[in-house]
Amino acid sequence: MAKTVVIHAHGGPEVLTIEDRAVGEPGPGEIRIRHHAVGLNFIDVYQRAGVYPMQMPQALGMEAAGVVEAVGAGVTHLKPGDRAAYAAQPPGAYTEARVMPAAQVCPLPEGISFEEGAAMMLKGLTVQYLFHRTVPLKAGDTVLFHAAAGGVGLIACQWAKSEGIRLIATAGSEEKCRLALEHGADAAINYNDGPFAPKVRELTGGRGVDVVMDSVGASTFEGSMDSLRPVGMMISFGSASGVVPPVSLGVLAKGSYQLTRPTLFTHIARHEDCQAMAKMLFEKVTSGAVKIRIDQRYALEDIAGAHRSLEARATTGATILTL
């Protein structure tokens, strides 16, 4: 049996309940893993609230790290006793132990702790696909990155610095802007001080940025488009402030802009791609180019409080559950 966070209906943090669930044995292509730490992400809030509707009852959580206890037939990249970490579907990471598909579970290097592993997989793999699979970025390019003091953002600031990419950060307070700058951002804009697009134009000599990476959504979308250079790329990869309303293709004609709405789980769907992406992420961390900052730790029993903090955008860096 394992304590597991489950919802029986969509709603606020009050719908999160903890139940004892049987774990069972892994079938073909599966593993059983005992978690040491679990990562929290905004997608968990979307799933709980019904932005992404789910069948009930539903366990939550997309990211964790721990030790493999058993493997099913056909699993060759992991064995019992291995340290491992993942960002993967289906949800169910908010638990002490689980049986799950093995393909997106990755061997965790000894130099990375379980807490770091739980805090970095979904966020770090997101940065990897943004910088290396969505658009071909190169040294000297300029990126506007929203919510840069969050878990994904602080990894992105360091990743950009390690590859010679100029990153202009936005965040919701002066403290968060300082945090982004400390982690490698070249400039930071407090978007509570007024429209950010004119400041982006000023920072780029009127040209605009090559790429915008926007996980905030409704409240930043228009300004993001106004921050692009001609033929620039707008990457909308989240909706923390609400879902972006329908967009007329005519909006893109203003500068022959490009627009995409990618998801991590498309990019890691193939086992080979997921493992290669994780290898690059692990190399960034073990080399010291990227440090994983964990600013909030909660017990499993305080999962509702953790969600309230995430929704209030009151967190910095990564948030984890400790088991």
Per-residue pLDDT, 258: 97
Burial 130-164 (b: 16+ CB within 10 A, else e): bbeebbebeeebbbbbbbbbbbbbbbbbbbbbebe
Q: For the segment 133-152, what is each residue's pLDDT rounded down to a tens digit? A: 999 899 999 999 999 999 99
The yes-or-no verdict on residue 202 having pLDDT over 90 is: yes
Asked if residue 210 belongs to a domain, the reply is yes
Same domain, 312 and 224: no
Mean pLDDT of the chain: 96
Same domain, yes or no: 249 and 271 = no
Residues 151 and 247 reside in one and the same domain: yes
Domain holding 153, by residue range, is 139-261
119-123, 164-168, 207-211, 238-242: range with lowest mean pLDDT: 238-242
Total structural domains in the chain? 2
Sheet of 142-145, strands arranged across: 187-190, 166-171, 142-145, 209-214, 228-236, 258-260
Residues 26, 88: one domain?
A: yes
Confidence at residue 240, expressed as pLDDT on a 0 to 100 scale: 81
Confidence of residue 193 (pLDDT cuts 50, 70, 90): very high
What number is the average pLDDT over the span 201-207? 98
Q: What's the whole-number mean pLDDT along residues 109-118?
A: 97
Same domain, 225 and 300: no
Quick one: 206 and 235 in the same domain?
yes
SS3 67: strand
**Rounded to an integer, what distance in angstroms lies between the CA atom of residue 125 and that of residue 127?**
5
In a domain, 49, yes or no: yes
* pLDDT tens digits, 213-265: 999 989 999 999 999 999 999 999 988 888 888 989 999 999 999 999 999 99
Q: Taking residues 196-222, what's their average pLDDT? A: 96
Per-residue pLDDT at 72? 98
Check whether 296 has a pLDDT greater than 90.
yes
pLDDT recorded at residue 242? 84
CA distance 118 to 120: 6
Domain at 220, CATH number:
3.40.50.720
Same domain, yes or no: 238 and 222: yes
Kindly report the CATH number assigned to the domain that includes residue 54: 3.90.180.10
